[in-house]
Amino acid sequence: MIEKPKTAKDRIILALDVDNLKEAHSLVNELKDYVGYFKIGLPLIVNYGFEAFRLLEENGARCYYDCKFHDIPHAVQKACISLVKNNINFFNVHIQGGSKMTSAVVKASRAAAKSMGIEPPTILGVTLLSSFGQKTLTTELCVDKNIEDFVLQLAKVARESGLDGVVASAEEARRIRKEIGDDFIILCPATRPTWSSVNDQVRVDTPRDAILSGVDYMVVGRPITSAEDRIAAAALIIDEIETALADKVSLV
């Protein structure tokens, strides 16, 4: 299992939301000293599979594999075993796949790691996509709960299933942290500094908000990758995180 982040830089997961390896390679080489992890999402997974992960591995960069598996338990546990066998140790599944699925994933992944003599992977549960708002939850998914209550319930399912943490916005993180505790990873999937656009996200948070809400890791994409000076953009976010961490300590 991965350790809790030790520095501000370690908390940043840069989204490699590109569809070709050449561009991904360029971003990794430029920014690997300024972020903690790189997120491999669906565009690279669909186009290149494990080749995208090998790119990070060969360049000494850490990977967060954003596969968001959501299927019947047997199918998802087989997929997760394949990830473990390919040395991918930080990935996610959808909690809405149900507790049978998430429990099967944890059991199978840990067994696979044990048989290989390696550390078990860190597996997070995706609660609700950051592009969803209350209207979508209520009118399309027919869920008669507010987002915070719904996400907290999913986080409890994740905890009971043995998952190592959840993917949730800072808006929900404070309550998750309070009710589930500190030994549970919270990753904020949509983080935008005040100086950047929210793009297609609905539930977005600043790096400062994320830290003060108890978030461990935060995904940042276009605010860095689309910046004229990517390194300077990353440095600004690191500064914001460091300031928030200091302020959080002073508030205790």
In a domain? residue 2: no
- Could you please report the per-residue DSSP string of 65-113? EEEEE-S-HHHHHHHHHHHHHTT--EEEEEGGG-HHHHHHHHHHHHHHH
Q: How far is CA 37 from the centre of its chain?
A: 10
User: How far apart, in whole angstroms, are the C-alpha atoms of residue 30 and residue 2?
Assistant: 24
Extract the tokens encoding 141. Answer: 């998914």
Handedness of CA 127, 129, 134, 138 (dihedral sign): negative
In a domain? residue 80: yes
Contacts of 6 (CB under 8 A, 6+ apart): none
Quote the pLDDT of residue 194: 83
In a domain? residue 66: yes
User: CATH number of the domain that 18 lies in?
Assistant: 3.20.20.70
In a domain? residue 102: yes
In a domain? residue 3: no
In a domain? residue 4: no
Q: Please confirm, yes or no, whether 68 is among the known catalytic residues.
A: yes
Quote the pLDDT of residue 203: 60
What's the total number of domains in the chain? 1
Quote the pLDDT of residue 189: 92
Which helix (H) or strand (E) element contains residue 171? helix 170-180
* Residues spanned by the domain of 30: 9-251
Quote the pLDDT of residue 198: 53
Residues 85-139 pLDDT 10s: 999 999 999 999 999 999 999 999 999 999 999 999 999 999 998 888 899 999 9
Catalytic residue among 9, 32, 68, 156: 68
Contacts of 239 (CB under 8 A, 6+ apart): 8
In a domain? residue 121: yes
In a domain? residue 1: no
Q: Report, as ranges of residue numbers, the positions in the chain whose pLDDT lies below 50.
A: none
